[in-house]
Structure 1
Amino acid sequence: MGELSARGLRADESEAFFGVFSDAFLNDSLRSAAAGGLYGPTFRLERAHGVFDGDVMIGGTGRIEQEITVPGPAQCPLAAVTAVGVAPGNRRRGVLTALMRAQLDALHGNGTPIAALFASEAGIYGRFGYGIASYESHLVVPRGAAFLPTVEVDDRRIREVDREQGVEIARARYSAVAADRIGWLSRSDGSWEARVLDWPTVRSDLGAPRFAVHPDGYAIYRAKREWTPRGPAYQLHIAELVATTPQAYAALWRYLLDFDLVAEVHWRKAALDEPVLGMLANPRAVDRRVLDALWVRLVDLDRALMTRRYAAPLDVVLDVTDRFCPWNEGRWRLRADASGSATATRTEDAGHVSLDITDLAAAYLGGSTLAALARSGRVVEHEPGTLVATSRAFATDCAPHCQEGF
């Protein structure tokens, strides 16, 4: 085995890159899907990195440049990390560490404040400074599930439209909502196709995307046909559901739940506090599973902390450890005013709260509280009262949520 080296990739190395990705996940369909434009124009190979054993690529990681809505709400540049893989037979050689090192150094160099990913295995990315910043609910709701009588359903007609019309309508509705929803991503040219409409095509058991359009929202869903000796038992799989009013949200759910031939409605990327959970007359009717979703990495702590807004005034010194990105390590004074705007500057003052960068990342979007992390022994308070004040300043009214994969 030769000496390992990590570097940025050239445009002619696409086949090798996606070959490593496909082999790492033991999924040949990823190779063909990638060759056919799985990531679309949003993915540029010159932003990817590879690790080489001599001339052979044995590991790779890419990123998509987006913006993410952070508490405020405010828009923050994001490196959406994707296609991370190490070729079989090369584990335990430091390949992933070299990939993360190269990628985070590049992000630090170009000024990207935060990175995020969906982790294939939950034990991998904490050692590189990523923390669980949001959770998602996998929901299965039976057909016909009744709402509480207090739920107001907009009775304006919902209509099915073709893909061209659906995308045009969805673009406008999504833009009106995404800027206020913590964890939602911007969608540049190609994002709709790559991450929403065509991404699930690797699941061959689902039909083409269908569009249910309301004057104040839309649902994109796919059908899984199923026939049993007792009759039809189709599943509807929600890819995305967006509404600008609670009444439109209720109407879209009612439409899906009352569909003929259907036994269940599935949504694998619902929010932790998805409103439908509080709308049902019988909440036990829902089969719900909660899993980690976005893992966030604060690449440059000061710029990341100053991009978001805070729920209460704050003046605290954070003593931060960051073994993988030493430029973040040390004591930082975080000051937030009554408007929520903040400054983060280095200081020699004693720390009020000690924590690792992973824990700061976990609290960054409001998905975890610093107070809860302290109860787990991960955050330490040195000045009485500062932990609660800091935790409340980082808190948000709604759980962060990202309803698309990358």
Structure 2
Amino acid sequence: MALTLRTLTADGLAEFQRVLDSSFLHDSTDDELERWRGLFEPERHHAVFDGDELIGGGGIQSRDITVPGAGPQPVAAVTSVGVKPGHRRRGVMTRVMRAQLDSLHEGREAIAALWASEAAIYPRFGYGLAAEFSRLSVPRGAAFRRGVSTGGERVREVSRDEAMPVAKAVYEDVRPGRTGWLSRTDAAWDYHFADTERDRGGLSAYRYALHPQGYAVYRVKNDWQDRGPRGELHVRELVARTDEAFAALYRYLLDVDLVGELKFFTASDDPVVHLLEDSRLALRSRSDSLWVRVVDVDRALAQRRYQSDVDAVLEVSDEFCPWNAGRWRFTVKDGAATVQRVDDDPDVVLDVQALGAAYLGGTRLVSLARAQHVQEVTPGVLNALSHAFLGDREPHCPEVF
């Protein structure tokens, strides 16, 4: 039977969620479904049907993301992409990706972003690996180096009701300067900090630590051994307006009793390693987080700012979104870019995946050239272009959406 594609309606969430549960080998509860409803935008969810049977789909959340030098900008936060077992390898996901990107072309968002369940899936649709996170592990009590100031303000453990208004205010103050951070509605806060028994995964309920200039949210996994307690403290989020508050919150977490190790999925450039007296105590491993897709080359490249002036003709290949393919003059003056379609000879040849990977300023174009995503035609231009794209800090997204 022929496959058809439709957008969903408000009453289609339960059926759509059943397909996602089947795809991700998950069993949603009624509580989870209602929580998800607050983030559900039915008109931005595409579903593929085989006759009357819903067999796959994908959605978009309307969010803002902080981009280098320009603060929050619109992003299509792609989510809930899945295909029901037994219906795979039939082009279902390709149809969803096609519908999403066609709908975004020349619309509100010039870029799309997602977390990939499998890293091999999304490059074929033009997504590039734009950000990573670190799995950080630090032993309890690890000393800070001499001279680190934690200020004189006390960190307090408080209830969720007291913590959340403060956390939301701090997050909103900090977010515009943190590349990769997303806007959050109240529904997004409720979703990401849900705290039912099922959400805990065998760990404790969330605990909330407040500093006048920041907050930390964490869980604990108890582990009582013959030589004493060796629990794990799992940080969910640590946000601070000031460097002293950041250090004070880390110091507090590292000194919690009955704990053997602090664990945190954190930014790849988390400065805690430089706070420690012995930097080797901070064990880190990296993994992919955000994948970015440039929807419209001219709009996307013009909405962020750049580190240095450059003038180059880019020849972009993009089989999935042919409106991006061709030659573009990319000119940066005093951080601001103009992008115009031209017929001039190219200085650099690259694929759209490379532009997505470099977009948030964490992936160097010179590295992508070594991976054969980028080719320099005019000597010297690639180094200048690569430097211009760099951000002030490594991009990081503190939530999976």
TM-score scaled by length of structure 2: 0.96
Of 316, 341, 349, the match for 2:336: 341
Once the two structures are superposed, what CA deviation does each residue of 1:279-326 show, in whole Å capped at 9, x if it has no partner?
A: 112222223110011001111111111110011111111100011111
**2:286 equivalent among 283, 290, 306:** 290
Please state if 1:355 is matched with 2:350.
Answer: yes
**Partner of 1:16 in structure 2?**
15
**Residue in structure 1 matched with residue 304 of structure 2 by the alignment:** 308
Could you list the per-position Cα deviations for residues 235-290 of structure 1 after superposition, in whole angstroms to 9, with x for gaps in the alignment? 1111110111111111100100000111111112x111101011112222223110
Decide whether aligned partners of structure 1 residues 328 and 83 sit closer, same or farther in structure 2, where only a CA change above 3 A counts.
same
Root mean square deviation, CA, Å: 1.6
Q: Secondary structure at the match of 2:82?
A: strand
- Residues 118-161 of structure 1, C-alpha deviations (whole Å, 9 max, x = no match): 10101000000000000100111111111111322223101111
Asked if structure 1 preserves the Cα contact closer than 8 Å seen for 2:116 and 2:291, the reply is yes
Aligned to 2:220: 223
**Change over 3 Å in CA distance of 1:60–1:323 after alignment to 2:** same
Task: Determine the structure 1 residue equivalent to 2:113.
Answer: 116
The structural deviation recorded for 1:165 is 1.4
Change beyond 3 A, Cα 1:199–1:50: farther
User: What is aligned with 2:63?
Assistant: 66
Residues 109 and 314 of structure 1: CA distance in aligned 2, closer, same or farther (over 3 Å): closer
The answer (yes or no) to whether the contact 1:73–1:181 under 8 Å persists in 2 is: no
**Partner SS for 2:292:** strand
Q: Secondary structure at the match of 2:105?
A: helix
2:13/2:37 contact within 8 Å kept: no
Q: Does 1:251 align with 2:248?
A: yes
> Which residue is equivalent to 1:380?
375
Task: Tell me the CA shift for residue 336 of structure 1.
Answer: 1.2
Matches within 5 A, 1:142-291: 142-198=139-195, 202-268=199-265, 270-291=266-287
Q: Residue type of the partner of 1:226?
A: D
Give the conservation status (yes or no) of the 8 Å contact 2:74–2:108: no
Flag structure 2 segments of 5+ consecutive residues without an equivalent: none
Please give the alpha-carbon distance, in whole angstroms, between the structure 1 residues aligned to 2:39 and 2:226. 45
Question: How many aligned residue pairs are there?
Answer: 401
Deviation at 1:12, TM superposition (A): 2.1
In structure 2, distance between residues paired with 1:393 and 1:263: 43
- Identity across aligned pairs (percent)? 50
Give the counterpart letter for 2:217 in structure 1: I
> TM-score with structure 1 length normalisation?
0.95
Give the Cα separation in 1 of the matches to 2:166 and 2:199: 25
Report the Cα distance in structure 1 between the residues aligned to 2:65 and 2:271, rounded to whole angstroms: 22
- SS of the residue 1:391 aligns to: helix
User: What stretches of structure 1 of length at least 5 have no aligned partner?
Assistant: none
Alignment partner for residue 34 of structure 2, among 33, 36, 48? 36
Q: Which runs of 4+ in 1 moved over 4 A?
A: 197-201
The CA deviation string for residues 178-220 of structure 1, in whole angstroms up to 9 with x for no partner, is 0001111111231211124459953431222221011111111
2:309/2:332 contact within 8 Å kept:
yes
Letter in 2 for 1:319: E
Asked if structure 2 preserves the Cα contact closer than 8 Å seen for 1:62 and 1:81, the reply is yes
Letter in 2 for 1:17: F
2:366 equivalent to 1:405: no
